[in-house]
Chains A and B, each alone.
Chain A
């Protein structure tokens, strides 16, 4: 699960909660426009967020909800109890989807139909049409009727199935007899779908299990001049043998545009052709009936074959005979069908399969017919004796399943059983028992055993149990259908209920949203804790030196060690809370790079690496703007146009890599491109022209130094100021922004090969590591970041060059400054017994400088507090910190000082 998705889920829960609350408030105060607007905003935002992911089911429902709320907001629809109910239902559905995403990572395609129905029921309110009957079901029913009636009727073109070529139908029929279920799909794309970038033809062609398809115009075509080519006027009709679930999955984005209906295989048996003479027919019909009645199939086959050879191929007769042979081959036992087929030769019309199927169903499988009926027609509320039987049998089967030995799939099995039982209960309108079932299921899942569920089942269905004998296995399918019918009954009746009752266990969100101020307060407190903890060693020292109690001093030290450990862990934990992945900044780049490179006519591939590297929130936030600057610069100046790149022998599309990684206690972000790089000569020239460097520097500067001139304030190489970059602000802003958070920037570039920029930032700004130095009896802090080394230099090794002191360290001349002089302290630096001076070598913008101090002390972790008020003007100090003994340590700012 991606962090984005996690965030979405946690936000979605908040929104759902908010929506629920607002609806409740509206119930008491329906006229409150403010509440209404807020409610709309919630639904609107939630919908927008859901659109970021591939959850069409969720987005569809929310979209309908949004439209409805918009209508209410503008007074087109009045707020009503029913509206609130439906909206709450829809939100429960969304909540259910959220749960599913959380547990499974995605939404099953099976929710598409529910989603469409819910959306429809919401939209219905806008159109203020009453009645909750499912439109999809009605549509499917009519569709089946169309197919049925067409095959019973006589008009050749009125039968959608008759459009399918005979060989395709025969193939499909063969597949159906081998166990496949055939589906007829009516795909009616929206008129405006082209504008959404849809290609319904492509969609239709890709339908799984496609056996046949055709395209028809929705209405007669107008004159070419009046034709609106961008309005989709096409309907698609398809025949597929893919499983229903696969079709649902494939069309899950457009359930309102697709109607899927199962086609009984016999409906495909449609003879076609020219009438021809009737005499032969009559004779054959009589003979065939006789043979069939006598069960002499072989002879019938032979007779049919003979007649086919004698007749022309495109006659109705030969078509019928071909089908006759096929049906005899595949369904030899289906005598009634054969009779009807033979009979159809008499009147040269399609056999009335619908009647036959109805008859078959009536005599053999009433429950199946019922299933078909209740799925498509208006369901009844009361259970028929048939259904009660089915329920009892179903419960018995579940019981059987539960008593089976536990194998590997027990988890799914228990869930399946629980779902089936819940369906049974709903069908019995026994909603009160549902919570008992849920409890038993949860227990069963916990214990990994079927016993709790079994116990519940026995307790619940004790009375009914004696009647059931476990039915044979082949009956199960039938039973399932019956159960399906029963369930459909209760489901459709009260519209769809995804409602959760108050006593249901609501999943507790795993993340907390906390105001940053609270974290900051925690941070400050732990800072003080660290400082006061540091007072303990001083106390121990006093106990030993002043009061002379050695024992106590040792105990204090032991206690200090414990408190120290806890405090450090605590600090670490709070730091973790403030950590954020760099993806927070990175996620805006794909879009930025895409848009900008398009605008510039360049081709750039963006590669992001190490997005899960974490750093303190403040650091991450401070990264945003500099990174955008750098990326824009790179796109604008770094990359060449595709033609230039091709000419230079590079791939036309450039690559921009942004890589984040953690290196000890720093986050390193590297932005590299394979563009044209920076030409040091050009840079030097430009800098000279702008007066940033003098002629001497122009000659002296190394290439690397020249490249770093881009960081100089007011520098720009672009002659033309574009809206992207070139205004002379940019790289210097980047540098100062990075330095503000104690970071550093390094730029490396090879002409013609590309540029690489390295930003190095501290993981956290909370704690600063400083070295304590002493001068003229005062203590100062020096950030460890800039300390290179500490050396003691003999006074003799210090030379005076003009007015400046310098010494040679490892073959380099290091200028020396006395810290006393810099801070205006009127005292010479002190030397130690060997007449050596303490030199603190610090780094300043790639140059080294030595600070003459009196003495070095330990390093310490301090919480640096910036100078405030009047003191903020003292730029020589970057801040102050409280030490363990209660004294204040001033931390020097080397950059300002030198």
Chain B
């Protein structure tokens, strides 16, 4: 599993494919105080990115991959 769900936290790892999208959306709809940890993520399919952009969960950790982090920060808005 590229996304591991633990209570209110979703841990992304490696490449998160489009297959994960439905589950992610469903999970985000259920959790109001969702936190997303992207540190181990190396790439995620834009469908997942759309979900994150629309749901605006708290990003508790940005990817270690600097290139990906820069992209995601622009899309998800690091404050």
Contact surface of A with B, Cβ cutoff 8 Å: 163, 189, 194, 199-202, 204-205, 212-217, 221-222, 224-225, 227, 229-230, 232-234
Contacts and interface: CB of A to CB of B under 8 A. Distances in A.
B53 A217 contact: yes
Interface residues of B, number: 23
A229 B55 CA distance: 11
Contacts of B46: 189, 194, 199-201, 215, 232, 234
A216 B73 CA distance: 11
Given A194-B46, A201-B71, A205-B43, 14 more contacts: A194-B45, A201-B49, A214-B71, A215-B49, A215-B53, A217-B50, A217-B53, A224-B28, A224-B29, A227-B25, A227-B51, A229-B22, A229-B47, A229-B50
Interface of B: 18, 21-22, 25, 28-29, 43-47, 49-51, 53-55, 67-68, 70-71, 74-75
Given A229-B47, A232-B46, A213 B71 contact: yes
B45 A214 contact: no
Contacts of A227: 25, 50-51, 54
A209 to B, nearest CB: 13
B19 to A, nearest CB: 11
Given A214-B74, A229-B25, A221 B47 contact: no
B24 to A, nearest CB: 8
B45 A233 contact: no
A222 B25 CA distance: 13
B20 to A, nearest CB: 10
Contacts, number: 72
Instruction: Specify which of A204, A215, A216, A229 lies most central, judged by the most chain B CB atoms within 10 Å of its CB.
Output: A229
A194 B47 contact: yes
Nearest to B17: A199
Q: List 7 tightest A-B contacts by C-beta distance, closest first.
A: A214-B74, A221-B54, A215-B75, A201-B46, A229-B21, A224-B29, A229-B47
Instruction: Specify which of B21, B29, B50 lies most central, judged by the most chain A CB atoms within 10 Å of its CB.
Output: B50
A230 B54 contact: no
A194 B45 CA distance: 9
Nearest to B49: A201
23 contacts: A194-B45, A199-B46, A201-B44, A201-B45, A202-B45, A205-B67, A205-B71, A213-B71, A215-B53, A215-B75, A217-B50, A217-B54, A221-B50, A221-B53, A224-B28, A224-B54, A224-B55, A229-B22, A230-B21, A232-B50, A233-B50, A234-B53, A234-B75
Contacts of A163: 74
B25 A234 contact: no
B30 to A, nearest CB: 10
A199 B45 contact: yes
A9 to B, nearest CB: 37
Nearest to A233: B50
Contacts of B49: 201, 215, 234
A163 B74 CA distance: 9
Contacts of A233: 50
Nearest to B65: A205
Contacts of A215: 46, 49, 53, 71, 74-75
Contacts of A189: 46
Instruction: Specify which of B18, B54, B55, B70 lies most central, judged by the most chain A CB atoms within 10 Å of its CB.
Output: B54
